[in-house]
Each structure stands twice: as structure tokens, then as C-alpha cells.
Chains A and B, each alone.
Chain A
Amino acid sequence: MTSPARGAPGQAGAILALTGPAYLWLAVAILLPLSAMFYFSFLSEAPMAGKTAEWTLANYRAFLEQDFYRTLMLRSLRLGAEVVFWCFVLGFPCALVLAKSIRGRAREALFLLVILPFWSNALVRIFSWTMMLRGNGILEKAIDMVFPGAGHLNLMFTYEAVVIGLVHSYLPYMILTCYISLQAIEDDLLEAARSMGASRLTILRRILLPLALPGILAGVVLIFVPVIGSFMEPRILGGRNGTFIGTVIEDQFTAVFNWPLGAALSFIMLGCVGVVFAVSRLALGRRG
């Protein structure tokens, strides 16, 4: 097994032996469950405990006919867009500073510091915000110290609290993807632009942003998708104001036990995400 044995008789067997176990596992734990969920989404009820189910489109129709689900889907899409927006606004300059104005070991250390929280426990990080945001919490006390008598913010259990928590969760993603593409831009290019008299704004608009676009888009996708499917963050930080399509799907599986409806809503959610990306791709393609 030391050299690539191309076309050797044992090759097919070796490939099967090496990839088989991993893909069998993925099939049982990911692909079959997703297929089963797709199947369930067309059933009148879960075909378990001796119940017989009929084929139906009612679960998908519920989404079209009831304003409730559509409103929530739009609310989730808006949440996704807002979180992505703030992640970009906060993260891109940060990636730029890291990639282009800090060098050597300091950059390595700072980069690690930025992405470290991202790979740590998401639930715990969301929980840590409750201490910041709650009434009479740390944030209010800090504001009170700087501006005495500024009044109460009372951010806990609001839409804004959910946005703050999610931005905190996903910001490192945007910094990471932007950093990778900004880092690949040759310094000579920037030097050339500057020597020809380009202002900082021009360099940003004509060189940095266009060349970093793949990284920005990767960040957008990597943040938008999980935010649309979030349910733990809105539950902890949003309270009664934290109802989104994700929490409704969770309810179908853990509280209401209408699994076919939950399945249909899940695929509608995936479909909406797909449509959003297709449309933005078209829009971007036209401009470029």
C-alpha cells in the first residue's frame, strides 16, 4: 500500500474496505434519516404504533394556507439577513486588520484568539449573554456607570437579544472566511495601486472587496443557513419573543408530535434557503 496502485486487481476491494465503513455510517445516520423525513412529510400521520398513514400534500399546503407559518418563515429570513449583515459589518474590517496590518506571531496569536470561541460550546456562549442582557444585568450596570440615569435597556427576551447572541456566535465564521481570501491578495497589488495614487477607499472598493468576495459569500452562506435553523438561541435569549420557524419545527417534534408537519416545514425551510441563494446568485451574476 505504499504507491498508488492504479488499476491493480485488488484496488476495488481496497477502496470498498477503506471507504465502506465511513459511508455506511453516514448512510444510516444522515442520508437515510433525511430520506425518511422527506417521506414522512407527505404522510397524513407518522406510520408508527400500528397507525396507517395516507399520502397527502396537506403538510405543505398548511404552510401556504396559514399566515402563521409564512410570517414566521419571513421573520426567520429577516433574522438571518440581519445577523449576516452585522457579522459582515463587524467582521470584515477585523479580517482586514488581521490580514493586512498585523504581521508575524502577533497575527497568529490574534487570529487564534478570534476563532477560539467559535469552536467552543455554542450553548454555553449563548447562556453567557443572559448575564449581560438581563434586567439589572452587567450591560445595564456598565451603561449606568458611564451614563448615570440612562434608564433601563431591558434587552433580555427581545428580538435584539437574539440578534446579539447569534452575531456573537457566528462572527468568527465571517472573520475566518474573509481573512482567508484577504490574506491571499498580494501586497504588491495594493502597493501598485497606492503608488498610482489610489485612495484607501478606492483600494477597498476596487481591489479588496471584489477579490475578497468569495470569502465574504462563503461567510454569508455559513452563517445564514444555521441561523435560519436556530432554535436554542431564540428560546434562551428571545423568550416569548423568540418564536421563529426553527422553534416551531422543534415544537412539532418535541411538544406537538406532529412529525409529518415538522418534516414538511423543515424541507420548506431548506427550500427557502435555496431560493434565497439562487436569487442572490442571479443578482450578483448580473452585476459582475
Chain B
Amino acid sequence: MRMLSLGGAGRVYLALVLLFLYCPIVVMAVMSFNESQFYTLPVKWSAKWYVALAGNERILSAAANSVGIAVLTTLIASVLGTAAALAFFRYRFRGREALQLLLFPPIAIPWLITGTAMLLFFFWIGIGRGLHAILLGHVALALPYVIIVTSARLKAYDPDLELAARSMGAPPWMVFRRVTLPFLAPGFLAAALFAFAVSFDQFVISYFLTVPGTSTLPVEIYTAIRKGFTPEINAISTIVIGFSMALLLGVARFYKFGGERK
């Protein structure tokens, strides 16, 4: 039963907001297939900008860097973050709340400030800029998300399940494989995908820590935008946004953002 029958008007409104949210993205995707580089209408369909993209060494190597850094970030942040989340779940200790509070600066402080602070500090102590510095920054940004997502899953975990399994005679490895792991796996997977998305889509931190020549995809796209529009940017942007949306559909599959919990 609907409590507030806002009826048709509500649905129309929702549709308009969705139009606002998706219209520019769809336009960009359509234009990436438009033969004319001056965005003339009607659209003359062509894949030539994608072909041009395939020959663009700069973009391709930046894309490879982005994927590489995102994979490493995912691995490191998942392992370190899961360990910390386990400690918060298993133990009540002094300073626990303070440690949890420390997760918020990377999320709450504008990336402009975090990014420039990293640039300044890394330069000062000799870490310098470059892909290693970008990795250092991305893992730090992804860690809080991993810890929060994993903790949310752990909260629903009942250690008595393990107890029950053991009392029925299951050896420890079997308890882990058949009880603990299947329960926690969706949470771990969601956290890992989240970490990948945080790193893959991160622009601001990478922008400040990049050295000219070796950068990540968002930085390369930004540079291209600032230099002037070419439909090639539409093509790579369409790929990037399609990819990250697919990634986040994956996260949503395993982790509900404030949706109905049953």
C-alpha cells in the first residue's frame, strides 16, 4: 500500500531528475559515435574516434597505468582494511573509537587539500611524485571505504555459527571454508570492487602526484580537455564511465547502499 499517493506527478518528477542525471552522459556517448567532430546533428554513426583511440599511445599507456594502480590498490587496501575491520569486530580495546574516527579525514577533507598535502609532504621527505606516490595516496583513500564496508558485513555476522559448526564436529578449516568464508565473501568482494572504483576514478590526488609523461587515465583526460575538445575524449570518457558504472553495479550486487534490508 502506498502511503503517500503522489501518484503520477511523483513518477514524472523522478523521471525528470533521472533525465537530468543521465542526459549529459548519454549525449556524450552518442557524440562519441558521431562522425563529425563539431557535434553536428543528425548523428552520422561512425566508430572512427574509437579507432583513433586505439592508436593513441598516450591514452593507452595512461589506461594501463590506471588499471595497474587500481589492481594494486585493491589488493593492498583489501588486505590491510579487512585486517583492521576484523580487529574492530573481534576486540574491544582502548583507542578503538579514536582509530575508527581517524578513518574520516580521508573521506571528509576535500581532496584538493589531501592531494596538495601529499604533494608537499612526499616532495619534502623525498618520496617524490610518480606512480608509486599515486599508489600510496590511492590506498590511503580506499582504506576507509574498505574498513567501513567490511565492518558493515561483519556486524551481521554471528560467531555462534562457527561454534555450531564446530560442535557438530567440523574441523577448523572446514568451518572457515564452509561457514566463515561464504558469509563474509560478499562483503569482501564489495569492498574490493569499491577500492578498485575509488582508485580507478580518482582524479584529484593523481593530478597532484603525477609527473608529466606517466599519468593515469583521468589526469590524461583532464589534460586533453584543457588543451581542447576532440571527439576522442568522448570515446575514452564513454568507455571510462561505462566501465565504472558496470563496476559499481557489481558492488551493488553484493552490498546494498541503504536499500531495503531483508
- CB of B17 within 8 A of CB of A124, answer no
Shortest beta-carbon distance from A113 to chain B in Å: 6
Q: How far is the CA of A225 from the CA of B245 in the complex (A)?
A: 25
- CB of B241 within 8 A of CB of A124, answer yes
- CB of A21 within 8 A of CB of B80, answer yes
B187 within 8 A of A: no
Main secondary structure of the interface of A (DSSP, over half): helix
- CB contacts (< 8 Å) of A168 on chain B: these are 20-21, 24
- CB of A123 within 8 A of CB of B91, answer no
Closest residue of chain A to B89 (Cβ to Cβ) is A4
Q: How far is the CA of A48 from the CA of B127 in the complex (A)?
A: 13
Known: A23-B99, A120-B201. A97 touches B14 (CB 8 A): yes
Interface string of B73-108 (1 = CB under 8 A from A): 000100011011011101111000001001101101
Known: A101-B5, A138-B27. A225 touches B108 (CB 8 A): yes
- CB contacts (< 8 Å) of A180 on chain B: these are 258
Closest residue of chain A to B102 (Cβ to Cβ) is A26
* Stretch among A61-69, A128-136, A147-155, A279-287 lining the B interface: A128-136
- CB of A100 within 8 A of CB of B2, answer yes
- CB contacts (< 8 Å) of B76 on chain A: these are 25
Closest residue of chain A to B24 (Cβ to Cβ) is A128
- CB contacts (< 8 Å) of B39 on chain A: these are 131, 137-138
Known: A14-B91, A103-B2, A117-B22. A226 touches B201 (CB 8 A): no
Q: How far is the CA of A176 from the CA of B259 in the complex (A)?
A: 10
- CB of B114 within 8 A of CB of A34, answer yes
Q: Looking at A17, A117, A137, A263, which has the most chain B CB atoms within 10 Å of its CB?
A: A117
A228 within 8 A of B: yes
B203 within 8 A of A: yes
- CB of B116 within 8 A of CB of A226, answer no
Residues on B facing A (Cβ under 8 Å): 1-7, 10-11, 13-14, 17-18, 20-25, 27-28, 31, 39, 41, 76, 80-81, 83-84, 86-88, 90-93, 99, 102-103, 105-106, 108-114, 116-124, 136-137, 139-140, 143, 147, 159, 162-163, 166, 172, 175, 197, 201, 203-204, 207-208, 218, 221-222, 225-226, 229, 233-234, 237, 240-241, 244-245, 248-249, 251-252, 257-260
**9 new A-B contacts at CB < 8 Å, known A226-B110, A232-B222:** A2-B162, A5-B90, A17-B83, A22-B80, A31-B102, A37-B113, A37-B117, A119-B248, A253-B208
- 9 smallest CB-CB distances across A and B, nearest first, come from A229-B110, A29-B140, A18-B87, A33-B121, A33-B117, A128-B24, A97-B10, A128-B28, A37-B117
